[in-house]
Amino acid sequence: MSTQHEFFDALLDPARPIPAGLTTWNGSDPAVRFAVYRNNVIVSLIDALADSYPVAQELVGEEFFRAMARLYVDAEPPRSRVLAFYGTSFPDFIEHFPPAASVPYLSDVARLEMLRVRAYHAAECATLPADAIAQSLADVDQLPTSVIRFHPSVRLLRSQYAAASLWAAHQGIEDIATVDPEVAENVLVMRPHVDVEVIRVSASTADFIARLLDGATLGTAVEQANLADFDLRNTLSLLVQKQLISSITTSRGKQP
């Protein structure tokens, strides 16, 4: 093991001895100074999780959240220099964390919060104006083989809980008293311009968008959507209105 890895592992594991060869400029005990440094690192990582998951923390309280986050830090140390993305797997950790079982929607609310972080930091990308989209979709013969690409910020959450409503209630957008956590919601997250937006969509619209995100052609996405309540015109209007479409090509890679 390299000295660098030894130092890193010792930082995150209080059970490990301090790295060999540490000295202090004033002759104080290196173990005491290292313990302070170790604590500062761990607290900073917990603070980073609290910054990324503020609603999750509100749902369970600061004390519970920080205790849970401390265990996560032990299990999942940072693997990237980008601290903004630390905790990507935290929602999965929450889902399988037995003490959080009494708040079953907590992991999906956390997933929504991380999708917002990802959307906020997504790359910039030009989107197609409405007239260009209309022109691309005007050829009925080419429609089934058309492939729609989205702005890099576009994310989709399929939740069996009211994740978006719970999140909105903690922003003061909705009244928490009117939210039934057990109602399933499908959520579209985007940031085509400056602000990240969170909107709820129907299950069929989510099916359709999910298939487009996976690279399916327009024809395949329509065929596989739940046609019981699917409205292609309204769904395309939503994508155009929110300026989420970055390109439309045929499955052969040409503009229709």
CB atoms within 10 A of CB 95: 15
Same domain, 16 and 71: yes
Which residues are 156's β-sheet partners? 188
Q: Please say which residue of 68, 103, 138 terminates a domain.
A: 103
Same domain, 234 and 153: yes
Same domain, 16 and 134: no
pLDDT tens digits, the chain, 256 residues: what are they? 456 666 666 666 666 666 655 566 565 555 555 655 566 788 889 999 999 999 999 999 999 999 999 999 988 988 877 888 899 999 999 999 999 999 999 999 999 999 999 999 999 999 999 999 988 888 878 888 999 999 999 999 999 999 999 999 999 888 888 999 999 999 999 998 889 999 999 999 999 999 999 999 999 998 877 666 788 889 999 999 999 999 998 865 555 4
In the three-class reduction of DSSP (H, G, I as helix; E, B as strand; rest coil), residue 191 is classed as coil
Same domain, 166 and 89: no
Q: What is the CA radius of gyration of the chain?
A: 23
Range of the domain at 68: 1-103
Same domain, 134 and 249: yes
| Spatial CB neighbours of 251, under 8 Å, sequence gap ≥ 6 | 145, 146, 147, 217
Same domain, 95 and 128: no
CB atoms within 10 A of CB 136: 20
**103 DSSP assignment:** S
Inside any domain, residue 119: no
In angstroms, the first-to-last Cα distance of the chain is 56
Same domain, 166 and 247: yes
In the three-class reduction of DSSP (H, G, I as helix; E, B as strand; rest coil), residue 105 is classed as coil
Inside any domain, residue 63: yes
| Spatial CB neighbours of 186, under 8 Å, sequence gap ≥ 6 | 156, 157, 158, 159, 200, 201, 202, 203, 205, 206
Same domain, 56 and 6: yes
Q: Which pair of tokens denotes residue 139?
A: 């050829």
Same domain, 128 and 222: yes
Inside any domain, residue 12: yes
pTM: 0.85
Inside any domain, residue 117: no
Same domain, 152 and 253: yes
Number of structural domains in the chain:
2
Contact predicate 225/184, CB 8 Å: no
